[in-house]
């Protein structure tokens, strides 16, 4: 079982909900895995405070050109769609930051002058707190391409457990990479024009990739009813509403909200599990 | 011509609300919404589109099953697992590298331009706005960001505008790197939460890496006095001036619902006054 939490707009409460949901499942004595796929700005463990047991460096292959073997034919430059290999006065030059690691230049080189070397793009970390297993990705600052790191995080998914994925904001490739393959998607929004606009984008994305989803409205009383009307018109399930509160905002600011959240909004967390098809948490206890 | 880019690391800290306020304050500028994943600035600026164009950020492989001899070469070469065992190519998985098409012995695969978005030049009450819309579940947001910036530059040159104000996206990856390339200055909008501080540190490291002058604004500074202090300490230690401390004000959301900037909606609100003071500093620094 994989439940992903995404949003379109940033700062709507994805991480809050992911951490609260994991903590809630754990509080019932059931093992749960949480994955921080917002590798640009991973925040899950700021709140979870899991002890990190394992760290692994994640690499992607980039070309290295052995000049002594190169005949200057330029086929590597021709095949590269990303301008990562450019011939300057007959000498091929590699721009690793533009490389998408497709391997084309290596396969096409008639002189076998191209091999691949590892380029570090970030790390994954793995830790435990209670019955929660946490795996997060941390993008190396200045690296641009995140999907390979998200893939490395998602490798730790265990199908026989409940897995919670905290996705990055937006609707483009890192989000698709994060939510693809999940059983249920929770879209968190807020009842503001920005929230609604980005929710519509996220809904279109969810429909495009064909994942069942429902909506949680956070700070449900700060705006207007346009989000609710949109959900009604589109026949989208509203799984829960979380009222705005200075108390929650202040607790969040300190990183101490999970217990409070469970105490006050366990109905929302229960509804998410129900919507995802986990009708009885305890059934996931053994394994 | 100067370029001011507003980013945040963490999503939902108030980038777009602050850009809208700066749009109301600054003179003779072009606005650019580079958060192409989840663009929101148009909701406040109410643009009248003057010009729009399709954006193609890459290509996609198409397989002709009539010609396919099912040799498996493409499956073996594709690094993105975009081709399944039935020789269907995933639209979201395909990176457009063209390696499969190049090496297909039966010439069954061809590459086609992929329309992955649209960009617009519009008129608004605050001057020209260049904005974009990324297609549903599309990638290449970095390239679209670069395109929006190029068009904003052309618009600024044509109209003798001395400044471009750019609304960036959350995170530190591909679209953010594309948005800050060539910037005269970056304004980081942060919030005093454990995640806001953590994410601000990472995005400040990124602007430091590219040696771009960086300023910080702490939004909702009164939410957590301790973390506001720690944010100021980090900024002092890293030589990044904090040029604004905006209080937590419900009027910011109300202005958004009224499709106005806070400067128009409540010019005497403490948040509006603080942004005016911040703009005075920024304007001087940008000279």
**Domain identity same for B192 and B274:** yes
pLDDT in tens, B122-167: 999 999 999 999 888 787 788 999 999 999 999 999 999 999 999 9
Q: Which residue of A has its CA nearest to B259?
A: A193
Task: Report, as an integer, the average pLDDT of A68-77.
Answer: 96
Question: What pLDDT score does B7 carry?
Answer: 98
Give percent of chain A with pLDDT exceeding 70.
99
Looking at the structure, tell me whether residues B14 and B95 fall in a common domain. no
Range of the domain at B171: 2-55+116-286
pLDDT tens digits for range B80-111: 999 999 999 998 889 999 999 999 999 999 99
Mean pLDDT of A141-162: 96
Chain B residues near residue A224 by CB distance under 8 angstroms: 257
Q: Pairing mode, if any, of strands B127-134 and B109-124? A: antiparallel
Residue A194 has, within 13 A of its CA and on its CB side, a CA count of 28
Residues 6+ apart with CB under 8 A from A17: A5, A186, A188, A216, A218, A272
Is the CB of A194 less than 8 angstroms away from the CB of B40? yes
Please give the Cα distance from A185 to A178 (Å, whole number).
11
Query: How far away is chain B from the Cα of A177, in angstroms, using its nearest Cα?
Result: 9
**Do B150 and B102 sit in the same domain of this protein?**
no
Q: Which of residues 212-241 of A touch B (CB under 8 A)?
A: 222-224
Tens digit of each residue's pLDDT (9 = 90 or more) over B170-192: 999 999 999 999 999 999 999 99
Mean of the pLDDT values across residues B265-278? Answer: 98
**B232/B145 same-domain check:** yes
Total number of domains constituting chain B: 2
Q: Do A79 and B43 touch (CB under 8 A)?
A: no
Which CATH number goes with the domain that contains B74?
3.30.70.20
Residues B175 and B238 both lie in one domain: yes
Q: How far apart are CA A85 and CA A78, in angstroms?
A: 9
Residue B244 near residue B227 (C-beta atoms within 8 A): no
pLDDT in tens, A35-57: 999 999 999 999 999 999 999 99
Q: Round to whole Å and give the CA distance between A269 and A20.
A: 8
- A63–B contact, CB cutoff 8 A: no
Q: A184-193, pLDDT tens digit by residue?
A: 999 999 999 9
- For B13: left if phi > 0, alpha if psi spans -120 to 50, otherwise beta; the answer is alpha
pLDDT classification of B224: cutoffs 50, 70, 90: very high
Q: In the predicted model, what is the mean pLDDT of residues A24-31?
A: 95
- Prediction ipTM score: 0.95
Query: Does residue B76 lie within any of the structural domains?
Result: yes
Which residues does A278 contact at the CB level (< 8 Å), separation at least 6? A1, A162, A284
- The four Cα atoms B157, B159, B164, B166 give a dihedral, to 10 degrees, of -110
CA atoms within 13 A on the CB side of A160: 3
One domain, residues B22 and B161: yes
Interface contact flag, A146 B173, Cβ < 8 Å = yes
Mutate which: B137, B200, B254, vs A, most A CBs within 10 A: B137
**pLDDT digits 0-9 by tens, B232-260:** 999 999 999 999 999 999 999 999 999 99
CATH number at residue B175: 3.40.50.300
B219 is written with which tokens?
């939004």
Q: Are residues B49 and B71 in the same domain?
A: no
Residues B175 and B69 in one domain: no
Q: Smallest CA–CA separation between B160 and chain A, in Å?
A: 31
Q: What domains are defined for chain A? A: 2-58+121-284 (3.40.50.300), 67-112 (3.30.70.20)
Residues 88-127 in A contacting B (C-alpha not used; CB under 8 Å): 100-104, 107-108
CB contacts of A211 in chain B (<8 Å) are none
Is B48 contained in some domain? yes
- Split at pLDDT 50, 70, 90, the class of A285 is confident
**Quick one: pLDDT at residue B203?**
98
pLDDT band at A200 (very low <50, low <70, confident <90, very high): very high
Q: What is the 3-state secondary structure (H, E, C) of chain B?
A: CEEEEEECCCCCCCHHHHHHHHHHHCCCEEEEECCCCCCCCHHHHCCEEEEEEEEEEEEEEEECCCCCCCCCHHHHHCCCCCECCCCCECCCCCCCCCHHHHHCCCCCEEEEEEEEEEEEEEEECCEEEEEEEECCCCCCHHHHHHHHHHHHHHHHHHCCCCEEEEECCCCCCHHHHHHHCCCCEEEEEECCCHHHHHHHHHHHHHHHHCCCCEEEEEECHHHCHHHHHHHHHHHHHCCCCEEEEECCCHHHHHHHHCCCCHHHHCCCCHHHHHHHHHHHHHHHHHC
CA A134 – CA B274 distance, rounded (Å): 40
Which residues from A are below 8 Å from B10, CB to CB? Answer: 10-11, 41, 43
Please write the tens of the pLDDT for every residue from B40-75.
Answer: 999 999 999 999 999 998 899 999 999 999 999 999
CB pairs A-B closer than 8 Å? 191
> Are B141 and A103 a contacting pair at CB < 8 A?
no
Whether B60 is in a domain gets the answer: no
In this model, does residue A287 exceed pLDDT 70? no
Query: What local confidence, expressed as pLDDT, does residue B57 receive?
Result: 83
Residues 6+ apart with CB under 8 A from B201: B9, B234
Indicate whether B235 and B160 sit together in one domain: yes
Whether residue B70 is found in the same domain as residue B166 = no
Count of alpha carbons within 13 angstroms of residue A71, beta-carbon side = 7
Give me the pLDDT at residue A169, please.
95
* Domain assignment of residue B153, yes or no: yes
Q: Are B234 and B129 in the same domain?
A: yes
- List CB contacts (< 8 A) between B12 and chain A: 9-12, 169
Model confidence at A73: pLDDT above 80: yes
- The CA distances from residue A143 to A120, A128, A147, B87, in Å, are 9, 28, 11, 32
| Residue A137 CB neighbour total at 10 angstroms | 27
* Whether B237 and B267 share a structural domain: yes
């Amino acid at each position: 079982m994989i439940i992903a939490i995404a949003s379109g707009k940033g700062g709507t409460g994805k991480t809050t909900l992911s951490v609260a949901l994991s903590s809630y499942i754990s509080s019932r004595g059931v093992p749960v895995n949480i994955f921080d796929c917002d590798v640009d700005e991973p925040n899950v463990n700021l709140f979870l405070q899991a002890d990190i047991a394992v760290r692994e460096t994640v690499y992607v292959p980039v070309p290295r050109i052995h000049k002594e073997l190169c005949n200057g034919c330029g086929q590597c430059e021709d095949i590269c769609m990303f301008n990562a290999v450019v011939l300057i006065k007959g000498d091929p030059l590699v721009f690793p930051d533009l490389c998408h690691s497709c391997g084309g230049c290596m396969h096409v080189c008639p002189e076998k002058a191209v091999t691949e070397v590892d380029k570090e793009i970030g790390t994954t970390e793995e830790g435990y707190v209670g019955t929660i297993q946490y795996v997060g990705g941390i993008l190396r600052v200045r690296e641009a391409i995140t999907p390979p790191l998200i893939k490395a995080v998602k490798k730790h998914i265990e199908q026989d457990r409940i897995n919670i994925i905290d996705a990055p904001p937006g609707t483009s490739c890192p989000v698709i990479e994060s939510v693809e393959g999940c059983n249920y998607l929770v879209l968190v929004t807020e009842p503001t024009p920005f929230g609604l606009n980005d929710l519509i984008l996220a809904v279109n994305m969810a429909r495009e990739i064909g994942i069942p989803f429902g909506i949680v409205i956070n700070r449900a009383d700060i705006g207007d009813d346009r989000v609710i009307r949109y959900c009604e018109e589109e026949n989208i399930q509203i799984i829960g509403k979380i009222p705005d509160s200075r108390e929650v905002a202040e607790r969040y600011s300190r990183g101490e909200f999970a217990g409070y959240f469970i105490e006050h909004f366990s109905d929302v967390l229960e509804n998410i599990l129900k919507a995802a098809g986990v009708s009885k948490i305890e059934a996931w206890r053994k394994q | 011509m100067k370029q001011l880019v507003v980013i945040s690391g963490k999503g939902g800290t108030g980038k777009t609300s602050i850009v809208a306020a700066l749009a109301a304050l600054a003179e003779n500028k072009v606005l650019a919404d580079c958060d192409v994943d989840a663009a929101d600035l148009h909701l406040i600026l109410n643009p009248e589109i003057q010009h729009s164009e399709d954006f193609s950020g890459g290509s996609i492989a198409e397989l002709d099953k009539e010609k396919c001899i099912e040799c498996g070469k493409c499956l073996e070469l594709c690094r993105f697992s975009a081709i399944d065992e039935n020789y269907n190519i995933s639209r979201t998985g395909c990176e457009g590298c063209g390696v499969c098409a190049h090496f297909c012995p039966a010439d069954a695969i061809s590459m086609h331009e992929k329309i992955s978005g649209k960009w617009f030049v519009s008129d608004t009450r605050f001057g020209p706005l260049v904005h974009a819309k990324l297609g549903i579940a599309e990638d290449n947001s970095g390239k679209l960001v670069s395109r929006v910036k190029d068009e904003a530059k052309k618009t600024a040159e044509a109209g003798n505008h001395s400044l471009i104000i750019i609304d960036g996206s959350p995170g530190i990856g591909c679209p953010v790197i594309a948005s800050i390339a060539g910037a005269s200055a970056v304004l980081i909008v942060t919030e005093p939460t454990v995640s806001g501080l953590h994410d601000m540190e990472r995005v400040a490291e990124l602007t430091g890496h590219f040696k771009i002058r960086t300023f910080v604004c702490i939004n909702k500074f009164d939410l957590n006095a301790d973390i506001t202090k720690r944010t100021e300490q980090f900024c002092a230690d890293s030589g990044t001036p904090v040029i604004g401390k905006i209080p937590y004000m419900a009027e910011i959301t109300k202005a958004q619902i009224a499709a106005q900037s806070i400067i128009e909606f409540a010019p005497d609100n403490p948040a509006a006054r603080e942004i005016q003071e911040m703009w005075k500093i920024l304007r001087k620094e940008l000279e």
